[in-house]
Structure 1
Amino acid sequence: MNHHISEYYDKNTIYVIGNAKTNSDNAITQKFNSFFIGFVINGDTSEIIDLSCSATIRTTEHFIASLFIGKKFGKFDKDIEEEVKRRYLGSSQKAIIVAYKDAVKKYSELKQK
């Protein structure tokens, strides 16, 4: 099936990627060299509507998405950090938080322009 991109995301959406380093023994590092999360954000409400990440297992990506989708993206949210620490017990836990912080910083810089 051939889709046009406009069918997926409205013109008011913003895409931002957060990057982080992972442990050298992490499978993600072996495959991608770093960990990254791409967030799709509603530019009007700052709500996270979609994301993908450099996870090596599909379930990991789905679980990480469940931690973020529906949350606000205007500023770093300590509650999200705490939820990641409590619920995500993989070796990329710190990298998820760092990638999230990096993306929020980039988004905040864009919004200030």
Structure 2
Amino acid sequence: MVYPKNTVYIIGNAQSQQKNPITHIYNMFFIGLVVDRETGYIVDAGASGTIPITSEFIKSIFVGKNIEKDGDEIASEVETRYFGSSQKAIMVAFKDAQKKYFQIKKGDKVDI
């Protein structure tokens, strides 16, 4: 997929539970978001996972939402729809991605 030039790619990081298979493979949980820089809408998403459906399911929660305005809606969907051991890590990674997005929007240096 080719993304428009007005999009940015942001990775949010989080620690996942020690028993989580994602931790054993990647040492952390990652969520990648392609965001329209001007509108804040998430146009694509992916996440570290041990099976492809995990990333696809997480993508279905994030795509079409606004990184600036829909945090509560995203949190509610994660809480009521995602019942894996990475549930908390998803939200921490999203908040990390949000923080980076706001740094980008302000023109600040992004902590990578």
Q: With structure 1 as the length reference, what TM-score do the two structures score? A: 0.90
Query: Amino acid of the residue matched to residue 23 of structure 1?
Result: Q
CA RMSD of aligned residues (A): 1.2
Shift of 1:57: 0.8
Aligned length: 107
Alignment-derived partner of residue 41 in structure 1? 35
Contact 1:19 1:36 (C-alpha < 8 Å) held by counterparts: yes
Query: Amino acid of the residue matched to residue 57 of structure 1?
Result: I
- What are structure 1's unaligned runs of at least 5 residues? 1-6
Per-residue CA deviations over 1:9-34 (Å, capped at 9, x if unaligned) read 11111000000000111000000000
Per-residue CA deviations over 1:54-84 (Å, capped at 9, x if unaligned) read 1111111100000000000125611210110
Q: Is 1:90 aligned to 2:84, yes or no?
A: yes
Query: Amino acid of the residue matched to residue 55 of structure 1?
Result: G
Alignment-derived partner of residue 4 in structure 1? none
- What are structure 2's unaligned runs of at least 5 residues? 108-112
Contact 2:37 2:105 (C-alpha < 8 Å) held by counterparts: no
Alignment-derived partner of residue 71 in structure 1? 65
Where in structure 2 are the equivalents of 1:1-113 lying within 5 Å? 8-75=2-69, 77-113=71-107
Give the Cα separation in 2 of the matches to 1:103 and 1:76: 13
Q: Secondary structure at the match of 2:68?
A: coil
Larger Rg: 1
Work out the percentage of aligned pairs sharing the same amino acid: 50
